Chains A and B, each alone.
Chain A
Amino acid sequence: MIMGLVTGIVQGVLLGGAYALIACGLSLAFGVMRLVNIAHGDLAVCGAYLALVLATGLGVPVAVTLPLILPIAFAAGVLLQLVLFQRALRGGVLAPVLVTFGLSVMIQNLLVTGASADPRSLDGGRLAMAGFTIGDLTLSWLRVIGFLLAVAVLGTLHLLLRRTAFGRRIRATADDLETARLVGIRVRPVFACVAGIAVATAVLAGVYIGLTATFDPYAGGLTLIFAFEAVVVGGLGSLWGTLLGGIVLGVTQQLVGLWDVRFAVLAVHVLFFTVLVVRPRGLLS
């Protein structure tokens, strides 16, 4: 019983890392540009498909395709910002929501036409099967690496925002767009970079999800919902809050899953609403 609980909590924390990895781009884009990208989950799923195509096409392991995929994702994010999001953000409160929702519908159905609606998964090779034991606890290397990856990405983003000149420009823009412009910050490149980073993290998360589970063209919706819940539960715009939010969701899902696996996802959604009622500003803020 106790061992089951401990296993559940540890697995939940590791799963929470994956949620935080998806969510951090969403959190960043909202924190800086006030953009809620409804297509965030679909962009992550695109990443998984891209890795699938490249890994089978080139005959290399999935991890090897990342140096190719991440720059493509960054460029795609920059392009989306310059072509779509920038205009949408100027169009009032509704426009960004509607434009990114339209984008989400387009991506899903383009994926269906290109790759059919069959569920796929990425081949993780030996790593996917490998595990290790601590005492009575058996852990998968892949899950542990995913969690460490999430912490590394969040840590890098934290350092980038707090310790670099570029990060200072991002924070200034996030705090007050007009004043940032007044003191000579060129907002457009800042926003474009932030969008690029957000999409790159989404795609990285998508590849990771593809290694741990199956995905299909419609998986983006649920991915977005989980990422969004992690962001809101943790506290809007706080990166470490997002990690905490992801962990809370992951642990809830695992513990409820121990009792009855059918209720696991429902419990996560209900927890999200409970947090919204009790602590609308999130756990960390």
Chain B
Amino acid sequence: MTRVIAATVLLLALAAVPYTLGPVAEQPLIGLFSLVALATLWNLLAGFAGLTSFGQQAYLGIGAYALYLLAARGLDPFLGIPLAALVAGAVAVPVSFPVLRLSGGHFAVATWVLAEIFRLAVTLSPALGGNTGVALPGLGGYEPLVRQAVTYWWALGLAACSVLGVWLLARGGFGLRARAVQSDPVAAASSGVRVDRTRRWAYCLAASGTGAVGALLFVYTLYVQPGSIFGVQYSVSMMFMVLIGGIGTIEGPVAGALIFFGLQQALSGYGPWYLVLLGAVAIAVTLFAPRGLWGRLGRPVFPIGYRLE
């Protein structure tokens, strides 16, 4: 009960930021919240369903470009965010059939190829601005301050919904089935778990959430370019956050997002050396501390385990 109260108070305090701390705090927090959402959704795939995707940037891009098409037809961009999520989820359904025939590293590279397909397709379509990208129409009616505050609330909402959603999924029957599939697909199938269906749900839900984040990033930056939104760098950061925080936990990706955000602020001036460090830390954590920082040091705030007496 105390946990629920603490979480509610934290959420309310964060929701009040536009009135208390104002735009100075909003900007970095929007970035942080989108990282939390991305890490949590990547963890739904890798940490629970055992699917390491290097192609989630495909759905970031689909979400962003879906929002562009909706906004160009006159829809309010903020109302377009959930629709963009639906579009990303809908694209993921047919795509999931071929990619889920693969697993492990093959799945990872196949999803990456998929992101490349979408990137090239956008680059080649003049209606989507081609290589130069497009600006988001339809936000002219908002005062800049109001626009940023609404963006902030959307970011907070997406982060909170992702964490809460994945937690609810993970502690329910779906989480049990997903973790069974992750640790041993054959054993899971033989005890009656529908492996394909479990993986497909995880894949499509993660795609849909990632699509919403893509649309949010577009609303935030007001400009989207295929070269950046479909970049594999997004997958690098998702993997890093989940690994360092603790794969397969609820708190881990959140902690990872905080660490990644801090490193980004402190070290991004060092350019490539910073990324070398990220790569080295990712390797070291995978090999020597596979449960991540939270798994080692923290105690679960959002318990998902079952204790057998």
Name the one of A35, A94, A98, A276 contacting B98, with C-beta atoms under 8 angstroms.
A276
**Cβ contacts A146-173/B at 8 Å (1 or 0 each):** 0000000000000000000000000000
> CB of B54 within 8 A of chain A?
yes
Q: Decide: A229 near B124, CB < 8 A? Known: A97-B104, A105-B282.
A: no
Instruction: Classify the secondary structure of A's interface with B.
Output: helix
The size bracket of the interface on A is 35 or more
Q: Decide: A273 near B117, CB < 8 A? Known: A88-B287, A91-B287.
A: yes
> CB of B218 within 8 A of chain A?
no
Segment among B76-84, B270-278, B297-305 that sits at the interface with chain A: B270-278
Complex contacts, B293 vs chain A, CB 8 Å? none
Instruction: Kindly report which residue of chain A lies nearest to residue B183, judged by CB atoms.
Output: A92
Instruction: Kindly report which residue of chain A lies nearest to residue B112, judged by CB atoms.
Output: A225
**Cβ contacts B33-75/A at 8 Å (1 or 0 each):** 0000000000000100010101000000000000000000000
Instruction: Kindly report which residue of chain A lies nearest to residue B182, judged by CB atoms.
Output: A93
Question: Are B105's CB and A277's CB within 8 A?
Answer: no
Instruction: Classify the secondary structure of B's interface with A.
Output: helix
Question: Are A109's CB and B103's CB within 8 A?
Answer: no
Question: Are A109's CB and B110's CB within 8 A?
Answer: no
**Cβ contacts A193-222/B at 8 Å (1 or 0 each):** 000000000000000000000000000011
* Residue in B46, B104, B124, B290 whose Cβ sees the most chain A Cβ within 10 Å: B104
> CB of B113 within 8 A of chain A?
yes
**Cβ contacts A86-128/B at 8 Å (1 or 0 each):** 0110011111111111111110111011000000000000000
Within 8 A of B (CB), among A257-285: 262-263, 265-266, 269-270, 272-273, 276-277, 280
Cα of A35 to Cα of B46 in the assembled complex, Å: 18
Complex contacts, A113 vs chain B, CB 8 Å? 271-273, 276
> CB of A5 within 8 A of chain B?
no
> CB of B188 within 8 A of chain A?
no
Name the one of A98, A105, A232, A266 contacting B52, with C-beta atoms under 8 angstroms.
A98
> CB of A84 within 8 A of chain B?
yes
Instruction: Kindly report which residue of chain B lies nearest to residue A100, judged by CB atoms.
Output: B105
> CB of B172 within 8 A of chain A?
no
Complex contacts, A95 vs chain B, CB 8 Å? 286-287, 290
Q: Residues on A close to B: CB < 8 A?
A: 30, 34-38, 84, 87-88, 91-106, 108-110, 112-113, 221-222, 224-225, 228-229, 232, 236, 262-263, 265-266, 269-270, 272-273, 276-277, 280
